[in-house]
Amino acid sequence: MESCGSIEEGCTTPKHLMPEAFQCPPPPRKKSRGESKREPPKNGYFQPPDLDSLFTMNSILNRLWIVGILEGISLFTHLKFLSKLVAFHRQQLRGPGFAARQTHPAK
């Protein structure tokens, strides 16, 4: 068959090639933990002198609270007793003369 001066042949193989499949990018890397590690402070960590007594006092108050409930002490009396105990303990931690220094500051 001839049409307009060109010869049409039957089926032919395509001349272009299929593009290569793209490769997926690699997964992101995890940040290393070693680089963000901090150095300890030069002056050391702050250690309050009465830290242990704070936890001791808390456990004592918890025990006294439970004992008061079990003994049937009225709530008002029990709270009054515990507040006096806490005030006494704080005074002992601060040392003698602390109240005087607070009420009469040096000029």
Is 61 inside a domain boundary?
yes
pTM for the structure as a whole = 0.29
Is 75 inside a domain boundary?
yes
- Report the number of distinct structural domains present in the chain: 1
Give the pLDDT of the chain (107 residues) as one tens digit per residue.
455 556 667 788 878 888 888 889 999 998 776 666 678 888 888 777 777 776 777 777 777 777 777 777 777 787 787 788 778 777 776 766 555 545 545 54
Is 2 inside a domain boundary?
no
Query: Contact, 99 vs 91, CB < 8 A?
Result: yes
Is 43 inside a domain boundary?
no
Query: Contact, 8 vs 1, CB < 8 A?
Result: yes
Instruction: Please give the C-alpha separations between residue 103 and each of 46, 83, 86, 97, 106, in angstroms, as whole numbers.
Output: 28, 21, 20, 10, 10
Residue ranges making up the domain that contains 81: 51-103
Is 69 inside a domain boundary?
yes
- Other Cβ atoms within 10 Å of 64 Cβ, number: 15
Is 32 inside a domain boundary?
no
